[in-house]
Amino acid sequence: MTGVLHRLAPSLRVAFAGLAKISFEHSRTVPPTLPKGFKNKKVNREGATWITVPGHVSFAYWRKFCTALNLCGLDIREMTLCFTSSVMCVIDGHSEEGRVKERHLPFEGFLEALVRLATAVPLPTEAMLANAEMTHAGPYMARLEASADKEEVEAMIKAQACEWSGVPDSEAGGEMPRRVEHLADVILRKLKQLKEDAMDEPLTTLTRREFRQWALRGMGVGERMLPEPWTQEVQLGEA
């Protein structure tokens, strides 16, 4: 799982940065006000190196994000559980810092929420992709959505259903690292708004400009919340 998230991290940092920016701008007029973020930076500690990513995503914009993606089989219950199960535990929820942390997702919480999301939505197995002569999950699900084949979708949902906090049966839904990879492929192709003839091509890293264009159209956010200059502020680890 760590290897999958490491490979996907540049694109996921961009998506998180966009959602965090929108959440921050909203908080400037609707409390609680979120702290202003710093730049991404590299940290070395106890022999490990990673990139810290600032910012917080509110539930309101996590929900708008998930709704705009229009993922098969996802409802408000799963959206909410993915979010609430991924927020941080804090010592003092009454402090200003504690209130922010227990009501918003940091980058690590955003990754956790996506992993939980990968247990809640139907995703193609390797056999399904092979039978459809496809390589990637994004175009497979796009074709399924376009066909309006409710029977196939319902069959996938039923076969891959599991109790909350569990994982789908690996025979019916594949192993979790691969499911996370498939979910990211579905999400990133939607965010990049690829044309049909490029849908099954290998993905490039999501750009800030691509995310902004999708957010303005798909989530209906205003230019003020995600201004054009934001697309030029590319941070460490986003490319």
pLDDT tens-digit series, residues 173-192: 999 999 999 999 999 999 99
105 bridge partner residues: 57
Check if the beta carbon of residue 121 is closer than 8 Å to that of residue 179: no
The pLDDT score that the predictor gives to residue 47 is: 86
pLDDT class of 112 with cuts at 50, 70, 90 = very high
Spans of all domains in the chain: 2-232
Q: Outline where DSSP puts E strands in 47-194.
A: 48-52, 57-58, 104-105
Per-residue pLDDT tens digits for 119-144: 999 999 999 999 999 999 999 999 98
- Which long-range contacts link 168-176 to residues 24+ away (Cβ below 8 Å)? 168/119, 172/125, 173/122, 173/123, 173/125, 174/123, 174/125, 174/126, 176/1, 176/115, 176/118, 176/119
Instruction: Report how far residue 71's alpha carbon sits from residue 141's, in angstroms, rounded to the nearest whole number.
Output: 9
Per-residue pLDDT tens digits for 46-81: 888 899 999 999 999 999 999 999 999 999 999 999
Q: Outline where DSSP puts E strands in 78-175.
A: 104-105
The whole-model pTM stands at 0.95
> Rg for the chain (alpha carbons), in Å?
18
Per-residue pLDDT tens digits for 216-232: 999 999 999 999 999 99
Instruction: Report how far residue 219's alpha carbon sits from residue 66's, in angstroms, rounded to the nearest whole number.
Output: 9
The pLDDT score that the predictor gives to residue 174 is: 96
Residue 161, pLDDT above cutoff 70: yes
Both ends of the chain: CA-CA distance in Å?
21
Average pLDDT over residues 98-111: 92
Buried b (16+ CB within 10 A) or exposed e, 22-39: bbbbbbeeeeeebeeeee
pLDDT class of 3 with cuts at 50, 70, 90 = very high
Percent of the chain at pLDDT > 90 equals 79
DSSP for 178-232, written as a single string: HHHHHHHHHHHHHHHT--GGGTTSPPPPPPHHHHHHHIIIII---TTTS-GGGGG
Check if the beta carbon of residue 141 is closer than 8 Å to that of residue 156: no
Classify 50 as helix, strand or coil: strand
The pLDDT score that the predictor gives to residue 185 is: 96
Instruction: Report how far residue 32's alpha carbon sits from residue 82's, in angstroms, rounded to the nearest whole number.
Output: 22
The pLDDT score that the predictor gives to residue 198 is: 66
Average pLDDT over residues 75-90: 94
Instruction: Report how far residue 58's alpha carbon sits from residue 31's, in angstroms, rounded to the nearest whole number.
Output: 11
